[in-house]
Amino acid sequence: MESQNTCEEVLPVSTLSEPLLPGKADDDDDLEVQLTPYDRRATATATGASSFSRTCLNLTNAVSGIGVLSMPYAVAQGGWLSLALFALVGAVCYYTGTLIERCMRADPGAIASYPDIGKFAFGSAGRRAVAFFMYVELYLVAISFLVLEGDNLDKLFPGSSVRLAGDYRLQGKQLFIALAAAVVLPTTWLKSLGVLAYVSAVGLVASAVLTASLVWAGVSETGFRRNSTSVLSLSGLPTSLGLYFVCFTGHAVFPTIYSSMRNNRHFSKVLLISSVLCSVNYGLTAVLGYMIYGEDVQSQVTLNLPSGKLYTKVAIVTTLINPLAKYALLVAPITAAVEERFYLPAGSAPARVSVSTVVVVSTAVVASTVPFFGYLMSFIGSFLSVMATVIFPCLCFLKIYRAEGISRIEVAAIAGILMMGVFVAVTGTYTSLQQIIGSL
């Protein structure tokens, strides 16, 4: 009863009336409050709960993705003034992240995952809708990571092959996809997200090294092309906007990270820190890449780096490390959902290892066989990511808290965010369909 009363005291009537950065509370009391309502599985122990710093690592790694490679291209499409849209998108995604947190606190005993939010707001239909978009998005993004690994490693080591049983050879892209899957497999067996924070730290270091490589290229080799850049390009703004949204997707794993916290009332503070860190990294990469290569910048800035240079090799290697470090975070909600769906023993190591192994193997198989997968991922990602990042958080929050009273200003702001999300989904889907049709 004590934990329930504590949760009720922080329940927001409106997000405008609740401070975004809650004050510091006693960690022992918070741990007692957090352990009772949220951790329904055996992973919810004091040993497995993530500290503030480890949660920062996990959340920053969840937000920071391979979208950083396309940031210079996004600025080239929309011009320098499109960076204002980047700031707007970052603020919107941070806000919708806080909406997810507040939805989680609406009923701590019933909500422990993203689909739970959908069920609490819209019943079984809401749960199924959120679960479908969430798990399909996570699964396909995990596949795209393996595709990225296979393509880049195949370019670094062309002609590589391994002889298996009989005369069958595993070679090229398929070989490196299998090797990447073997590398990430042990990270998916980790029970605690606190331990997984060390894996996340590797991914963050890799992102920082990529930015440093661009600085190296601009200062010591290529130089800067200030005269070949544009201030504003209206025709390219839809593309820029879509790419900016891709950079901040990660909301589907927010509830998992939130539930893993030792003191989850500090989630909004962790989210703010993570959003700022990612925005700084994204912004530096965008500015440096565009200043160095101008309008000639490619969709992945690493493709512009000259071959044979040390910083080029460093950039490519770090590009490959980031997806490996993020993969386990993406499949963690999928693994937990499968365990719950088939009523597997909570906290059972054999069950966790078996389910995660099946998930990893299946993503590797699909990554090796699906044709035109890059364009397909662009099509599905534009739609699913916006749904998970913008549409669902806003709709669920409005449904859950409308009885508590939400100010007209806030309702108007959420309505504007929803219209922006629909616009990005429509334009992104249209562009991706054009690419798919053009490749047939």
Greatest mean pLDDT among 99-113, 149-163, 249-263, 344-358: 99-113
What is the rounded average pLDDT for all residues in the chain? 77
At residue 153, the pLDDT reads 81
Look at residue 16 in the predicted model and tell me its pLDDT.
34
Classify residue 244: in a domain, yes or no: yes
In a domain, 24, yes or no: no
Task: Tell me the CATH number at 67.
Answer: 1.20.1740.10
Percent of the chain with pLDDT over 70: 77
Most confident of the ranges 63-72, 113-122, 320-329: 113-122
Q: Render pLDDT for 393-403 as a digit per residue (tens, 0 to 9).
A: 999 999 999 88
Give percent of the chain with pLDDT exceeding 90: 18
List pLDDT tens digits, range 125-143: 999 999 888 888 888 888 8
Residue 306 has pLDDT above 90, yes or no: no
Phi-psi map region of 377: left, alpha, beta (phi>0 left; psi -120 to 50 alpha): alpha
Which range in 57-66, 81-90, 342-351 is most confidently predicted, on average pLDDT?
81-90
263 is a domain residue: yes
Is residue 32 a part of any domain in this protein? no
429 versus 15: the higher-pLDDT residue is 429
Residue 166 covered by a domain: yes
Is residue 33 scored above 60 in pLDDT? no
Quick check: is 345 in a domain?
Answer: yes
Question: Which range among 6-10, 52-56, 95-99, 242-246 has the greatest average pLDDT?
Answer: 95-99
Q: Does any domain span residue 10?
A: no
Give the model's pLDDT for residue 68: 79
- Confidence class of residue 412 from pLDDT cuts 50, 70 and 90? very high
* Residue pLDDT, tens place only, 100-126: 999 998 888 888 888 899 999 999 999
Higher local confidence (pLDDT), 415 or 13: 415
Count how many domains the chain has.
Answer: 1
* pLDDT value, residue 20: 34
Domain coverage including residue 192: 51-439
- 26 occurs within a structural domain: no
